[in-house]
């Protein structure tokens, strides 16, 4: 079966990796600073703080915000990754779960508002599937906002790149994300003191004092591959958008496409989802349910709908044109009238 996701790594990435392996500068080296400089300048900020993965970026981001032990952090009750909840626990906080929007799988500001209290230390908002969260409303609460851009690098909100609007932006360079550094992540911020705190907490090496620190640094090998992938980011994003366009055209529906495309999403009619998923898997199209609950599922009506009646279709640059056409054709022949819920 065609894989659900796969990175697009070519000769340039291979050469970069080989060069670092031959140099012997595997852990620390100039590529890390270069990547931090380039990511910071792309975001219009000071050099960002690279990390070992998206989880460590979220964790470091929360620590850099100065989250107090036991402080509450509002997170969505569904996600495709439990790092959204677990990074809060790692940072000594208490995750508190909000429902998502009717029209997007992101935090619903009305639900968030009901959870705010004197213990609230931060709001952690993923931009799921490249769909940008309701930033204006979330920022208006005046609580430190951590944007989780793991699924949305390059997405924009009113012309500004996501990751630059909240107090902290966190990104992931996991192999199946939009750009792969084999593995990795980054913490970005407009606030110099937040960046300094993230940089300080990231690694204990070379410092001898009584402070608690982590080992969340990105290796030079990862950074070298990340630099090549970052240079290709526009091409990688364009290819995702064009594959989603091909699926849309074959199905005659828009599907859920965010400000950038991460996966191509289909909202399905209640009662039709499992049968459709079974038919697609039978046809060897590796679709899947995207969301799972990060907490007990009761009391979240919108999340329930996204959880139960939503499928994603593989949509990544390593797919060949023939594979994209093949998937598009099988989608079109497997989806029956009334299976989909459009408009989203
Ligand atoms: C929304 C979201 N946040 C955070 C992460 C964590 O990133 P990583 O896998 O690099 O730790 C992921 C990865 O799946 C994700 O999808």
At 274 the three-state DSSP class reads helix
Domain boundary among 213, 231, 249: 231
Q: Are residues 254 and 199 in the same domain?
A: no
Q: Are residues 225 and 246 in the same domain?
A: no
Burial 311-341 (b: 16+ CB within 10 A, else e): bbbbbbbbbeeeebebbbebbeebbeeebbb
**pLDDT tens digits along 56-73:** 999 999 999 999 999 999
Q: Average pLDDT of 245-251?
A: 97
Q: Are residues 227 and 300 in the same domain?
A: no
Q: Tell me, what's the pLDDT at 173?
A: 98
329 part of a folded domain: yes
Q: Tell me, what's the pLDDT at 37?
A: 98
248 part of a folded domain: yes
* Pocket lining: 219 vs ligand 1, CB cutoff 6 Å: no
1 part of a folded domain: no
Q: How far apart are CA 285 and CA 19, in angstroms?
A: 38
Report yes or no on whether pTM surpasses 0.75: yes
Q: How many Å lie between the centroid of ligand 1 and the Cα of residue 186?
A: 12
Q: How far apart are CA 305 and CA 4, in angstroms?
A: 23
Give me the percent of the chain exceeding a pLDDT of 90. 99
pLDDT at 344 over 80: no
Q: Are residues 224 and 163 in the same domain?
A: yes
343 part of a folded domain: no
Q: Average pLDDT of 207-233?
A: 97
- Please provide the average confidence, as pLDDT, over all residues in the chain: 97
Split at pLDDT 50, 70, 90, the class of 1 is confident
Instruction: Give all strands (DSSP E) within 217-315, no chain letters.
Output: 264-267, 288-289, 292-293, 310-313
Structural domain count, the chain: 2
* Pocket lining: 126 vs ligand 1, CB cutoff 6 Å: yes
**pLDDT tens digits along 79-119:** 999 999 999 999 999 999 999 999 999 999 999 999 999 99
Domain boundary among 196, 214, 231: 231
Q: Are residues 166 and 59 in the same domain?
A: yes
DSSP-derived secondary structure for 179-215: S-SSS-EEEE-S-HHHHHHHHHHHB-TT--SS----B
Q: Tell me, what's the pLDDT at 129?
A: 98
Q: Order of strands, edge to edge, in the sheet holding 120-126?
A: 49-51, 185-188, 168-172, 145-148, 120-126, 72-76, 94-98
Name the one residue in this structure whose structure tokens are 């990060």.
294
**What tokens were used for 149?**
């851009």
pLDDT at 171 over 90: yes
pLDDT at 342 over 90: no
Residues 6+ apart with CB under 8 A from 209: none
Check if the beta carbon of residue 297 is closer than 8 Å to that of residue 303: yes
Q: Ligand 1, closest atom to CA 174?
A: 10
Q: Are residues 287 and 213 in the same domain?
A: no
Q: Tell me, what's the pLDDT at 290?
A: 97
**pLDDT tens digits along 255-301:** 998 999 999 999 999 999 999 999 999 999 999 999 999 999 999 99
Q: How many Å lie between the centroid of ligand 1 and the Cα of residue 216?
A: 15
* Pocket lining: 174 vs ligand 1, CB cutoff 6 Å: yes
72 part of a folded domain: yes
Q: Tell me, what's the pLDDT at 57?
A: 98
Q: Tell me, what's the pLDDT at 343?
A: 76
Give me the percent of the chain exceeding a pLDDT of 70. 100
Domain boundary among 231, 258, 284: 231
Q: Are residues 134 and 55 in the same domain?
A: yes
Report the relative pairing of strands 145-148 and 168-172 from DSSP bridges.
parallel
Q: Is the dihedral of CA 113, 114, 118, 119 positive or negative?
A: negative
**pLDDT tens digits along 172-190:** 999 999 999 999 999 999 9
Q: Are residues 220 and 309 in the same domain?
A: no
Q: How far apart are CA 13 and CA 217, in angstroms?
A: 20
227, exposed or middle or buried, with CB in 10 Å at 0-12, 13-18, 19+? buried
Q: How many Å lie between the centroid of ligand 1 and the Cα of residue 81?
A: 6
* Pocket lining: 53 vs ligand 1, CB cutoff 6 Å: yes
Q: How far apart are CA 186 and CA 191, in angstroms?
A: 15
* Pocket lining: 97 vs ligand 1, CB cutoff 6 Å: no
Q: How many Å lie between the centroid of ligand 1 and the Cα of residue 149?
A: 9
**Structural domain containing residue 47:** 11-231
Report the residue among 89, 173, 174, 214 best suited for mutation to probe ligand 1: largest number of ligand atoms under 8 A from its CB: 174
The vertex-100 CA angle with 94 and 103, nearest 5°, equals 165
Q: Are residues 166 and 45 in the same domain?
A: yes
pLDDT at 167 over 80: yes
């Amino acid at each position: 079966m065609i894989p659900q996701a796969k990175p697009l790594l070519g000769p340039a990435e291979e050469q970069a990796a080989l060069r670092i392996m031959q140099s012997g500068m595997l852990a620390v080296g100039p590529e890390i600073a270069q990547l931090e400089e380039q990511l910071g300048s792309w975001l219009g900020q000071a050099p960002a703080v690279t990390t070992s993965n998206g989880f460590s970026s979220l964790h470091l981001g929360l620590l850099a915000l100065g989250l107090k032990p036991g402080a509450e952090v509002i997170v969505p009750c569904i996600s495709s990754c439990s790092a959204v909840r677990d990074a809060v626990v790692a940072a000594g906080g208490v995750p508190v779960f909000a429902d998502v929007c009717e029209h997007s799988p992101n935090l619903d500001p009305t639900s968030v508002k009901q959870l705010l209290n004197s213990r609230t230390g931060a709001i952690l908002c993923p931009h799921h599937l490249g769909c940008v969260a309701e930033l204006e409303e979330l920022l208006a609460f005046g609580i430190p906002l951590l944007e989780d851009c793991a699924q949305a690098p390059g997405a924009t909100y009113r012309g500004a790149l996501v990751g630059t609007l909240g107090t902290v932006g966190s990104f992931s360079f996991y192999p199946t994300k939009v750009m792969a550094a084999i593995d990795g992540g980054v913490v970005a911020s407009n606030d110099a003191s937040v960046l300094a705190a993230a940089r300080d907490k990231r690694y204990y090496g070379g410092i001898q004092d009584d402070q608690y620190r982590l080992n969340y640094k990105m290796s030079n090998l990862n950074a070298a591959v990340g630099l090549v992938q970052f240079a290709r980011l526009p091409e990688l994003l364009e290819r995702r958008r064009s594959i989603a366009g091909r699926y849309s055209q074959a199905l005659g529906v828009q599907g859920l496409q965010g400000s950038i495309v991460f996966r191509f999403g289909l909202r399905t009619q209640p009662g039709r989802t499992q049968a459709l998923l079974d038919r697609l898997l039978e046809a060897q199209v590796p679709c899947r349910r995207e969301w799972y609950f990060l907490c007990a599922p009761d009391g979240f009506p919108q999340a329930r709908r996204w959880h139960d009646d939503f499928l994603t279709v593989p949509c990544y640059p390593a797919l060949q044109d023939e594979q994209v056409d093949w998937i598009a054709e099988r989608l079109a022949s497997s989806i029956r009238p009334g299976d989909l819920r459009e408009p989203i």
